[in-house]
Amino acid sequence: KRIDRDIWLNRIGDFMIEGMDPFDSASMNSWDLHKWSDEVRQDKIPIQLAGFSHVFVHDNDEYVDSGEATPLKGMPHCVQQVFDKVKVAGAFRSFANSVNKSEEQSETEGSIWNDALISTGTASTTQVKTTNTETNTSSAAHAQRTESVERSVTQEPTAQAEPDTDVPTSTELNTSSQPASETEATKSEVPKELLDMWPSRKLAEWVNNGAASEEDDEDTKAWLDNTVKALQRALRGYEMTAELIGARLTPNAALVRFRGSDDLTVPKVEKRRQELLTSHAVDVINVLAAPMEIIIMVKRPHRAILRLQDLWRRRQLPSTAPESNTSLLLGAKEADGEILYLNVGNEFGGHQPHGPHTLIAGETGSGKGVLVQSLLLDICATNSPENARIRMIDPKAGIDFPWLRNMPHLDGDLITEQDEAIHALEELVAEMERRNRLLAEAGVTKLDNYNRKVPPSEQLPRIWLFHDELADWMMINGYRDAVDLNASRLGVKARAAGINLVLITQRPDKDALPMQLRANLTNRLVLKVADKRNSILVLDEPGAERLLGRGHLAAKLSGEGKVILTQVPFASEEEIAELAQLILVSRLDKK
């Protein structure tokens, strides 16, 4: 039963995003449609069901109870009426005479809807009076009343209509014709929970100004409908059962979900990829297996841009932020749109703790740089300089990270020479050994427990070592040997000491990544690679060669057991510079 409930809650959450118009968040205590959807998925919101069901029985083979409309057991606002053969015939005659429904039927159905709203406190006083006193029970009057109910719950009154006296006007709700995220009033109203999450009000305002996901235009919606029909028709033509469960759009693809069956399997669909593209214009990116489902991902003709600011608005942070955070945002999961975090410390965001060390691989244009920038900004925004230190080795002389030089989190300058990099690795090994001795003396096994045990003056920060363009210098034997030795030692023993490695490379081959070093980098963040061989080297399976580039990510995180397709959020150079400045000012002001 719990599994069924979780499935339906996720379906309702999907329906809210796909089937409802965005509404004004000012009248909903700053909750927009996406927050409502997320809370529904997590079973945090009580749900009231109201509806009128008609059952038509067209034969007399068995006894049919065709009495009056009756509430369903345990569901007072869900009513069902059964029509036997005689009543079905009468209904057809009514339609033939252009009578849609009787006045009595119209009044009954309208009352059920209004009663449900009244019982949950969502109907206005005017609507309650209308339900009790309205005498016009025609179909037109019912439609007008229902429109009034829906308008008061989800919309502001239109300029042409005279609003009821008890229904709030647009002025009272502090709304405008623009989306809530774009109004000046809304921008200035930063929820307290956001103020608590970020180190300054300015940064919280920047996050709060992130827009909800853009509505897909009519052309995109039409493409989704046509693609689903074409895919379903093609699968049936290949003698596969294609019982559609649902479909939704992601930034990169249409996710089309079919009921699993013995004749609809991942291998069978994979074999038809080429025919689906050439004969049906259906470009299948991936085919995923799920409990009782097959999920087919079809490439969108025009990908949507997922913005960093928007995703930071949706994200969660642990209660220790903005002073300390070990769960860094990676992107939005392709399967359900939920945010994926890299948890190098504790479990968070519905995922268990991951490994301490990370490999980022991908060819030019795959989005490696944007992902690394996102991780660095995340560390600086959600950790104080006293709790997180960054060391950056960059063979490209730091041209991609000019803002990082000014951050108080950076230890020294960017490391751009090989001898400096070797010295930094050796220093880090020595620091790891020192920390492990301190932990042993304190009788604890990890850094967080040590910091809770000692006074603030003796607490130790977490250290992040980033090494960009690793393959460039690994071609030099002396450097390769030094990195292999020191990074491998860190990979084995640095977790308890609070030292995390993030190594970035274009080529994940054995020359750039010796086998022992690769084995210790248990978190694999793989963007598009050149071929299947490179995908197998870094992911232990093919598939990364089929990624779309520009931040399309295959994440294989320690302990998760499967690859999680994710879209990394994008931020322009100007947006990165603006965000970095906000973080810098917020951290300097706290000193």
CB-based contacts of 473, cutoff 8 Å, min separation 6: 395, 418, 421, 479, 480, 483
Q: How far apart are CA 529 and CA 366, in angstroms?
A: 8
pLDDT of residue 163: 36
Max Cα separation, the chain?
A: 92
Q: At what angle do helices 139-154 and 103-119 cross, to 10 degrees?
A: 20
Q: How far apart are CA 377 and CA 24, in angstroms?
A: 30
pLDDT of residue 586: 93
Residue by residue, DSSP assigns 308-334 as: HHHHHHH----TTTTT---EEEEEEET
Here the tokens at position 327 are 């769960």
Q: Give the SS3 label for residue 499.
A: strand
**CB-CB contact of 486 with 494 (8 Å):** no
Q: Can you list the domains of the chain with their CATH numbers?
A: 2-177 (no CATH), 218-299 (3.30.980.40), 328-589 (3.40.50.300)
Could you give the count of Cα atoms lying within 13 Å of 115 in the half-sphere of its Cβ? Answer: 15
Helices (DSSP H) in 27-161: which residue ranges?
33-41, 85-96, 103-119, 125-133, 139-154
| Rg of the chain, C-alpha, whole Å | 29
Q: How far apart are CA 254 and CA 146, in angstroms?
A: 34
CB-based contacts of 93, cutoff 8 Å, min separation 6: none
pLDDT of residue 374: 97
pLDDT of residue 124: 44
Q: How far apart are CA 153 and CA 127, in angstroms?
A: 11
**CB-CB contact of 367 with 550 (8 Å):** yes
Would you tell me how many other CB atoms lie within 10 Å of the CB of residue 260?
18
- Segment 413-438, tens digit of pLDDT: 999 999 999 999 999 999 999 999 99
Q: How far apart are CA 558 and CA 566, in angstroms?
A: 16
Here the tokens at position 361 are 């691989």
Q: How far apart are CA 568 and CA 370, in angstroms?
A: 8
* CA distances from residue 540 to 20, 94, 537 in whole angstroms, order as listed: 41, 66, 6
Q: How far apart are CA 404 and CA 385, in angstroms?
A: 13
Per the document, the length of the chain is 591
Helices (DSSP H) in 155-198: which residue ranges?
170-173, 184-188, 192-197
Kindly provide the residue ranges of all beta strands, DSSP E only, lying in 377-494, ordered along the sequence: 388-393, 462-467
* CA distances from residue 268 to 376, 547, 563 in whole angstroms, order as listed: 42, 21, 20
Could you give the count of Cα atoms lying within 13 Å of 4 in the half-sphere of its Cβ? Answer: 1
pLDDT of residue 401: 92
Here the tokens at position 531 are 């071929």
Burial class (CB in 10 A: 0-12, 13-18, 19+), 268: middle
- Segment 200-256, tens digit of pLDDT: 999 999 999 887 555 667 888 899 999 999 999 999 999 998 999 999 999 999 999
Q: Which amino acid is at 315?
A: R
pLDDT of residue 309: 95
Here the tokens at position 249 are 């759009």
Q: How far apart are CA 94 and CA 109, in angstroms?
A: 18
pLDDT of residue 188: 54
- Strand 253-259 and strand 293-299: the pairing is antiparallel
Angle made by CA atoms 310, 361, 516, in degrees to the nearest 5: 135
Here the tokens at position 413 are 């300058």
Here the tokens at position 469 are 């363009």
Point out the residues of the chain with pLDDT beneath 70. Answer: 1-4, 6, 14, 17-19, 21-34, 58-67, 73-74, 98-113, 115-188, 212-216, 590-591
Would you tell me how many other CB atoms lie within 10 Å of the CB of residue 277?
14
**CB-CB contact of 354 with 342 (8 Å):** yes
Here the tokens at position 494 are 């640095």
Q: How far apart are CA 487 and CA 466, in angstroms?
A: 11
